[in-house]
Amino acid sequence: MNKELFGVFGSIEAFNRFRSNDEFDTILEGERITAGIRDSGLGAPGWSATHETDDGICLVWGEAYVPGAETNAARWVLEQYPSAGTDALASLNGSYLVVLDIDSAEQAFVATDMVRSRSCFYTDEPGVRVFGTDSGEVGRTLPAPSLDPNGVLDFLHLGVTLGEKTWVEHLSRLPIDSRLTADSVDELDRFVYRPREFDYVDELADRLERALERRSILPGEGALLLSAGYDSRIILSQVPSIERSYTVGYPDGQEVDGAKRLADQYDVEHTAFPPDERYLRADESKVRYSQGIKESLHIHHAGYTDEITADTVYHGLLCDTFFRGHFTEQAGIDVFGKRINFDRLDPDPDPVEVLLSRYGYVPETSFELADRMPFEHDVEAYLENAIEDAVDAVADRADQPQNELTACGIANQPSIPFHNHLSDNFFTAFLATDAELVEWHLQTPPEHRTTETFLRACEQIDEDVLRHRPPDRPYDSPLLNETERFIRRKTPFLSSFDPPWPNRETLFDQYYADQQLLPDLECAHTLQPRHKLRLNDVQGWLRSWSDSDGSLLSWFGAGNPSFV
């Protein structure tokens, strides 16, 4: 990858067992930890930073902001930690990992941000605890890597590996809101639901404005990955450095037309990337961002990266999750196979049923896939146990079932590769991870984390932000929108609303993707495109770092009779 953090709980000699100093821009040597960082943006305001004193070292990797005028987050943490302790981490804002080895701390540690928006992978197998942001590079330190069946099963059925597993045994990642020491993994208490009463709309509007202003220090020309929906338009409205916007979609499609209307409204240049072989391309340059846990298909823009002209890229990823209740479950009824939601929450949601509907689970394809895999398992029973375990892992952070669902969804968010790729190629502003906005999420009862609340807050900031409605949501009422969608689908001569993303099945056939991605797995060609891309993700990610161990790839090779 272009940018990387890698380290060991040990000396520079232990570090050099695995990596050369020449691979990194800076190496920090503490008494108990050694870490290297490679980042072309190192030292830029709001971005990765390092600092050393006689008392210790600190490295912050990613997007980070601190109170006051200080722009070097590592220096700020190093100065604050002796008096504030881990409370200093609660004031560190953004999407980051922090490495700290200081005399006043009982142990050196690596800590995630509040929501684990950047993964830290680690292993103890080499005889010393190794950690890093590139799962493949940490995986290379394993003496004898082997597939983790549960990690692979989670992914192939759901599109995400739950919890702390990866696709390889003894290669783990830090949990949400936690820290790694030389001999432990410790939970922190920043991400805990504590609902209270306040003006949810006014407070969200104020915090959105401050969060966007905070990110205005990121350098250079700005660009926005723009949809016709709700989540990215407030960024377009409020960030003057944005000069260009980009949408993946057909030039004559509803999504592109809606996005272009928004760009014209705010006098920003707009470019549409037509879905072609670049959209499906899933080679190592894209698949490595799956990190052995998630789908690379979420990186819709990957094939067009060279055409994005910007220093800093903005996006609205996870705004639906933190502000609009993506993982909360509404009460409702099924009508002709379509779920119609009521304007109230389900008082007793089934976590397995809800999360299966939110993740990329397709029962028919999962059953077909299970028949061809070397893992003997009952799909439904396996997934029920896996999801129940994932919910239990975050239950102590939530005060009620709806928040348990959302906490689990955030801890196992499938679409993070979208941000991983952007932040590896540009300065990238991740609005939804702003600490003030996450705090709003944690303090707002789930019945008020709605699209209506979010849109009212956006209109307080810019009263004209809803001038152009999303093409598939012509009404304020969700029920009316669902009704029109249903009528359009069922009525001859009425066209349905365009889906926001291209049809992968059509593209697979048009560009012969089966032969390009899975030439040796003809038995998988009848699966749905999304599941074929998952198989390609597993094979591609393993090949990217484990070429010395053919047994890893043989699990999915054409010569494996139990798979064929």
Tens-place pLDDT, residues 213-226: 999 999 999 999 99
Higher pLDDT, 393 or 473: 393
Average pLDDT, rounded, for the chain: 92
Torsions phi, psi of 89, nearest 5?
A: -70, -30
Higher pLDDT, 493 or 245: 245
User: How large is the angle between the packed helices 363-370 and 529-545, nearest 10 degrees?
Assistant: 50
- Please report the pLDDT score of residue 344 as a whole number: 83
How many residues are there in the chain? 564
- Please report the pLDDT score of residue 511 as a whole number: 83
DSSP code at position 394: H
Tens-place pLDDT, residues 257-280: 999 999 999 999 999 999 999 998
Could you tell me the domains of the chain?
A: 4-120+174-187 (no CATH), 200-276+301-324+414-477 (3.40.50.620)
* Residues pairing with 38 in the sheet: 4
309-321 CB burial, b ≥16 within 10 A, e <16: ebebbbbbbbbbb
Task: Measure the CA–CA gap between 257 and 273, rounded to whole angstroms.
Answer: 12
Task: Measure the CA–CA gap between 537 and 291, rounded to whole angstroms.
Answer: 9
Q: Could you tell me the strand order of the sheet in which 427-430 lies?
A: 269-273, 242-248, 222-225, 312-315, 427-430
For 61, other C-beta atoms within 10 Å of its C-beta total 28
- Please report the pLDDT score of residue 342 as a whole number: 67
- Please report the pLDDT score of residue 281 as a whole number: 86
- On the CB side of 534, CA atoms within 13 Å amount to 27
Tens-place pLDDT, residues 145-180: 989 999 999 999 999 999 999 999 999 999 999 999
Tens-place pLDDT, residues 294-319: 999 999 999 999 999 999 999 999 99
Does the CA dihedral 523-529-534-539 come out positive or negative? Answer: positive
DSSP code at position 339: E
Higher pLDDT, 490 or 82: 82
Nearest partner of 141 among 7, 287, 13, 37, judged by Cα: 7
Reported as a pLDDT band with limits 50, 70 and 90, residue 519 is confident
DSSP code at position 294: B
Tens-place pLDDT, residues 1-30: 999 999 999 999 999 999 999 999 999 999
- Does the pLDDT value for residue 550 go beyond 70? no
For 60, other C-beta atoms within 10 Å of its C-beta total 29
pTM of the model: 0.93
| Distant-in-sequence contacts of 556-564, Cβ < 8 A, 24+ apart | 556/521, 557/520, 558/520, 558/521, 558/522, 558/523, 560/374, 562/373, 562/374, 563/372, 563/373, 563/374, 563/521, 563/523, 564/372, 564/523
Higher pLDDT, 393 or 519: 393
- Does the pLDDT value for residue 209 go beyond 80? yes
Nearest partner of 104 among 140, 53, 141, judged by Cα: 53
Maximum distance among all Cα pairs of the chain, rounded to whole angstroms: 75
**What's the whole-number mean pLDDT along residues 48-66?**
97
Tens-place pLDDT, residues 359-380: 989 999 999 988 887 778 899 9
For 519, other C-beta atoms within 10 Å of its C-beta total 10
